[in-house]
């Protein structure tokens, strides 16, 4: 029987072993008479012994630490009915208990619970606080393959624009030259005027 499965149930005496949990309650086994029954969570509350703490003049201590002190003291457990004997017992084995907040009924309950655990052979274990280990976030970086330069069509189209302009200018150049050649016959009309002027000159002579 494991200590972390031992619970107390409000409204029921003694301690119980948690067998299984259900949505509306739990199946438990009594440490006292070993009977098994279903306990409704609508009526009762459950408390794991390993989660219960005891007030002290300093920081609170886990209930298991008080049980360990009771076990290691070697002193005989006092009679529950004797309130003074109960208080003197705890003042001796755990003097830092805050007796202004831990009442006689609480101390009696600790004696009853310890007796049940001892009789049932439950090994009392003080819960060890586990350090929270921060999990490192693993960032997965997907490598994106570079696209081939040939596939960069937008850039190619921009570079092709000046070439088209040059070709257009080359096409326009012959047209300009042909236009200048057509204008040459107008210059040939000049010699005709010079011949007429020469004939007139000879007649005058």
Task: List the CATH number of the domain containing 14.
Answer: 2.30.30
Q: What is residue 74's predicted lDDT score, i.e. its pLDDT?
A: 87
Query: Of 63, 87, 119, which residue constitutes the final position of a domain?
Result: 119
Between 202 and 25, residue with greater pLDDT: 25
Distance in angstroms (rounded) separating the CA atoms of residues 10 and 43: 9
Structural domain includes residue 178:
no
Residues 39 and 80 reside in one and the same domain? no
Bridge partners of 29, per DSSP, are 17, 36
Residue 6 has pLDDT above 90, yes or no: yes
Q: What is residue 126's predicted lDDT score, i.e. its pLDDT?
A: 87
Residue 60 has pLDDT above 50, yes or no: yes
Distance in angstroms (rounded) separating the CA atoms of residues 157 and 144: 25
């Amino acid at each position: 029987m494991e200590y972390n499965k031992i619970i107390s149930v409000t409204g029921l005496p003694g301690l119980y072993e948690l067998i299984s949990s259900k949505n509306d309650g739990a199946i438990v086994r009594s440490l006292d008479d070993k009977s098994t029954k279903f306990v409704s969570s609508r009526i009762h509350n459950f408390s794991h012994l390993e989660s219960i703490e005891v007030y002290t003049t300093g920081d609170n201590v886990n209930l298991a630490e008080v049980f360990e002190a009771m076990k290691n003291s070697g002193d005989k457990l006092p009679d529950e009915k004797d309130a003074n004997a109960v208080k003197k017992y705890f003042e001796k084995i755990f003097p830092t208990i805050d007796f202004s907040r831990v009442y006689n009924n609480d101390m009696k309950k600790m004696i009853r619970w310890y007796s049940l655990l001892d009789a049932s052979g439950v090994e009392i274990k003080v819960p060890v606080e586990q350090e929270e280990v921060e999990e490192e976030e693993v960032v997965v970086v997907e490598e994106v393959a570079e696209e081939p330069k040939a596939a960069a069509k937008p850039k190619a189209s921009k570079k092709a624009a000046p070439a088209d302009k040059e070709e257009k200018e080359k096409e326009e150049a012959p047209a300009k030259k042909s236009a200048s050649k057509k204008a040459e016959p107008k210059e040939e009309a000049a010699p005709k005027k010079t011949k007429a002027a020469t004939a007139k000159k000879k007649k005058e002579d």
